[in-house]
Amino acid sequence: MSYRGQTYVIPCTNVGFNSSPNFDAMPATVMITPSQNVDLHEGGIGKRGGTAKVNSTVLAGTPAINGLYQFRTIAGATTIMAGTSGGKILKDADATPTELKTGLTASSFYDFITYNNKVYITVYKSTTAQVPQKWDGSATSSTDIGVPVACAAALAGAGAGSVDDGTHSYKITFTTAAGETYGGTVSNIVTVADKSTNGKVALTGVQKGPTGTTSRKIYRTVAGDTGDYKLVDTIADNTTTTYTDNIADAALGATVPSSSTAQTVPSDWGTYFPKQLVVHGYGNSERLWAFAVPGKQNWIYITPNNDGSSDADFSQATILTLYIETKDGFGLVGGMEFNNKLLVFGKQETFIIDDVDINTNNWGYVKAPWSGGAGSHRLIVPTPNDIICMQENGEIYSVVGAQQYGEARLASISRPHYIHVWIKNNIDLTKYEQFYAIYDPKKQAVRFFMMRKNVSVIDTCLSYYVDLGIWGPPESNQSYASGFSSASSALVRSAVGEYNVYTGGNAGFIWKLNQATKSDDGNGYTGAFRTPHLSFEQDEVGLARIKKRFDNGRFIGLTKGSYNINIMALVDGSDSSTTAVSLTGGGAVLGSFVLGTDTLGGNDILDKDFNIGMVGKRLGLEFSNSAVGQDFFISQIMVDFVTLGALP
Beta-strand ranges (E) seen in 442-517 are 445-450, 460-465, 470-471, 486-495, 498-505, 510-515
Low-confidence winner among 59-68, 250-259, 599-608 (lowest mean pLDDT): 599-608
- The pLDDT, as a whole number, for residue 594 is 38
CB < 8 Å & 24+ apart, contacts of 576-579 = 576/612, 576/614, 579/610, 579/611
Peptide bond into 274 cis (omega under 30): no
The Cα angle at residue 148 between residues 146 and 154, in degrees rounded to 5: 175
Mean per-residue pLDDT, 354-378: 94
Q: Are 375 and 396 in contact (CB under 8 A)?
A: no
C-alpha torsion sign, points 472, 478, 481, 487: positive
Q: Are 505 and 486 in contact (CB under 8 A)?
A: yes
Is a pLDDT exceeding 70 seen at residue 630? yes
CA separation for the pair 226, 210 (Å, rounded)? 30
- The pLDDT, as a whole number, for residue 184 is 87
Share of the chain above pLDDT 90, in %: 79
- The pLDDT, as a whole number, for residue 646 is 62
Mean per-residue pLDDT, 459-465: 98
pLDDT, tens digit, 9 for 90 and up, residues 1-13: 566 788 999 999 9
- The pLDDT, as a whole number, for residue 603 is 58
* CB-facing half-sphere around the CA of 619: CA atoms within 13 A: 31
Q: Which residues, at least 6 apart from 292, have a Cβ–Cβ distance to it below 8 Å?
A: 124, 129, 274, 275, 276, 331, 332, 333, 334, 377
What one-character DSSP code corresponds to residue 507? T
Burial class (CB in 10 A: 0-12, 13-18, 19+), 428: middle
- The pLDDT, as a whole number, for residue 332 is 97
Taking the domains of the chain in order of start, what are their residue ranges? Answer: 6-49+527-646, 152-251
Number of other CB atoms surrounding residue 317 within 10 Å: 15
- The pLDDT, as a whole number, for residue 596 is 39
Mean per-residue pLDDT, 224-234: 97
- The pLDDT, as a whole number, for residue 197 is 96
Low-confidence winner among 46-55, 444-453, 462-471, 559-568 (lowest mean pLDDT): 559-568
Query: Residue 430: phi, psi to the nearest 5?
Result: -70, -15
Q: Which residues, at least 6 apart from 511, have a Cβ–Cβ distance to it below 8 Å?
A: 51, 52, 53, 54, 482, 483, 486, 502, 503, 504, 505
Share of the chain above pLDDT 70, in %: 95
Mean per-residue pLDDT, 342-371: 95
Is a pLDDT exceeding 70 seen at residue 541? no
pLDDT confidence tier of residue 212, bands split at 50, 70 and 90: confident
Mean per-residue pLDDT, 472-492: 97
Is a pLDDT exceeding 60 seen at residue 108? yes
Query: Residue 20: phi, psi to the nearest 5?
Result: -65, 135
Amino acid at 506: N
Three-state DSSP class for residue 263: coil
Q: Which of the listed CATH numbers 2.30.40.10, 2.60.40.420, 3.40.50.1110, 2.60.120.260 matches domain 6-49+527-646? A: 2.60.120.260
CA separation for the pair 116, 570 (Å, rounded)? 60
Q: Give the helix/strand (H/E) hosting 399.
A: helix 399-405
- Strand 386-390 to strand 396-398: parallel, antiparallel, or no bridges (unpaired)? antiparallel
Q: Are 612 and 551 in contact (CB under 8 A)?
A: yes
Q: Are 645 and 576 in contact (CB under 8 A)?
A: no
Is a pLDDT exceeding 50 seen at residue 593? no
Q: Are 35 and 545 in contact (CB under 8 A)?
A: no
Three-state DSSP class for residue 388: strand
- The pLDDT, as a whole number, for residue 389 is 97
- The pLDDT, as a whole number, for residue 590 is 36
- The pLDDT, as a whole number, for residue 586 is 53
Ramachandran sector of residue 435 (left: φ over 0; alpha: ψ -120 to 50; beta: rest): beta
Q: Are 48 and 462 in contact (CB under 8 A)?
A: no
Burial class (CB in 10 A: 0-12, 13-18, 19+), 29: middle
Average pLDDT along the chain:
92
Burial class (CB in 10 A: 0-12, 13-18, 19+), 601: exposed
Is a pLDDT exceeding 60 seen at residue 297? yes
The Cα angle at residue 409 between residues 367 and 455, in degrees rounded to 5: 110
- The pLDDT, as a whole number, for residue 587 is 40
Comparing 139 with 382, which gets the higher pLDDT? 382
Q: What is the dihedral of CA 99, 101, 106, 109, to 10 degrees?
A: -100
